[in-house]
Amino acid sequence: MAGKWTTAELVVGNVYDTTFYVNPVDGSPYRYRATHLDGRRAPKVILSDDERIRPGSRTRVRLEKVHKPERADRGWLQVEVLDVLELEIEGIYLDPIVSKKLQVLLESGLNILLDGPQGSGKTVLAKALAETLGMEFVFFNCAAVLEATDFLATIQVRASDSGSPITDFVSTDLRKALLEAGESRKKRYLVFLDELNRCPEPARNALMPALDSVRKVFDPVTNSFLSIPDNVQFVAAVNRGRAFSATFGIDAAQLDRFAPLQVTYLPAEEEVKLLRRRHPEVTRSRVELVVQIANVVRDNPEVVSGLSVRATEEACIYLAHPLLESADDDMFAEILKSSFCGRHPGSWNEPDTDAGIVWRLILDAMDAWRKVKGRR
């Protein structure tokens, strides 16, 4: 239902669905605010401090009172919370079971480890979670960490006025966020540790006390330990498996600091919806064929590494371009050769390599599709 409610349309005692988020107004006695009722913009902000509210989750409320109904620029809607439903993240598909697990972990404040194939949307999910829950999103690339101190500061050498070298510590975004979180206790921070297993294990060990009950990490700038405020929650992501180079194992003690959550690629119908939203100029049948062949590759045990959504989107970018929007079947296969085979070791014309196997799968899938098309 589109549009905006008027004050006269709202009926005290009626039940509506809404979604609360963290109230950004400093000093407000209400921790949560909402702006819509049953999908329509409310004429006044909806405020609540009910402890049952989970930011980002659909909430059923009963309207109790309209404060200052005569003023268009003042007042608010007083509601009673009846029921809090499951977490929903706009524009993101979550398996229902994973969604329930994620909601429990977020509410508990545990560190979360997103474990899944490359391109399955781990970073997008973490960022969307932060936005949905009204948290500050802090991205940190662990692949750039070589030494334990690199998590909080990097060493930079510059010349002084006299020309002699001066060594400075430069704070990372992670350190800046931890300091800011200590000063802004009303804000919540989601620290996303991307590619956690791409930094060497000795360096990663520096995070151990930050991730357990000690909640401290050594700060090379002050040469002391920095406390992790309780308004900071860590979410990490890893890619594991023999397909990945330059990765390091995560031992049991490090894994035990996290609640692991397995994520995987979108179901075919959801991936089609996603690609159609991003590339509406590509026909549904073409998008469906791209996704169908991608899943053939993903499901084949001969192929060591997976195939990310970036690959299917790249194929749609080709197909959306005026130069290729009328591509015949042969050109369609060539597009998939670039987008799919190019993401695997070897070459498309080397049958024993991953890229060669993917090319064979593409050709077989295209032949099967042509036969089906010919019978229609």
Digit-coded pLDDT (tens) for 54-71: 877 789 999 999 999 888
Per-residue confidence (pLDDT) for residue 243, from 0 to 100: 47
Residue 21 pLDDT: 81
Task: Provide the pLDDT for residue 264.
Answer: 85
Q: How are beta strands 112-115 and 232-238 bridged, if at all?
A: parallel
Co-location of 209 and 300 in the same domain: no
Residue 258 domain flag: yes
Is the pLDDT assigned to residue 90 strictly greater than 70?
no
Range of the domain at 250: 96-262
Mean pLDDT, rounded, for 70-85: 89
**Residue 1 falls inside a structural domain:** no
More confident of the two residues 344 and 374: 344
214: Cα within 13 Å, side-chain hemisphere? 12
Binned at pLDDT 50, 70 and 90, residue 1 comes out as: very low
Average pLDDT for residues 293-307, to the nearest whole number?
Answer: 89
pLDDT at 298: 92
The closest of 203, 49, 22 to 130, measured between CA atoms, is: 22
pLDDT tens column, 230-280: 889 999 998 765 544 444 567 788 888 999 998 888 899 999 999 999 999
Specify the 3-state DSSP secondary structure of 85: strand
Domain-located, residue 4: no
Distance of CA 52 to the CA centre of its chain: 24
Q: What is the pTM of this model?
A: 0.72
Q: Within the chain, where are the H helices?
A: 96-108, 122-133, 173-183, 201-204, 208-211, 252-255, 268-278, 284-299, 309-320, 329-339, 354-375
Q: Is the pLDDT of residue 46 over 90?
A: yes
Count Cβ neighbours within 10 Å for each residue of 93-109 and write b for 16 or more, e otherwise: bbeeebbebbbebbeee
Tell me: do 150 and 258 sit in the same domain.
yes
| Whether 272 and 250 share a structural domain | no
- List CB contacts of 171: < 8 A, sequence separation 6 or more: 152, 153, 179, 221
Q: What is the pLDDT of residues 147-159, one digit of tens each?
A: 888 999 988 777 7
Q: What is the pLDDT of residue 245?
A: 41
Residues 80 and 123 in one domain: no
Our count of domains for the chain comes to 3
Closest CA to 361 of 315, 293, 271: 293
131 with 69, same domain: the answer is no
Give the model confidence (pLDDT) of 302-331 as tens digits. 987 778 889 999 999 999 999 998 889 999
pLDDT of residue 109: 82
Q: Are 83 and 116 part of one and the same domain?
A: no
Question: Average pLDDT for residues 93-109, to the nearest whole number?
Answer: 81
Beta-carbon-side half-sphere exposure of residue 96 (alpha carbons within 13 Å): 1
Residue 117 has pLDDT above 90, yes or no: no
3 is a domain residue: no
- Separation between Cα atoms, residue 318 and residue 309, nearest integer Å: 14
Domain presence at residue 103: yes
H helices, E strands: number in the chain:
11, 15
9 lies in some domain: no
Query: Do residues 155 and 45 both lie within one domain?
Result: no
Q: What is the mean pLDDT of the chain?
A: 87
* Residue 337 resides in a domain: yes
Question: What's the confidence (pLDDT) of residue 349?
Answer: 93
Domain boundary among 87, 117, 136: 87
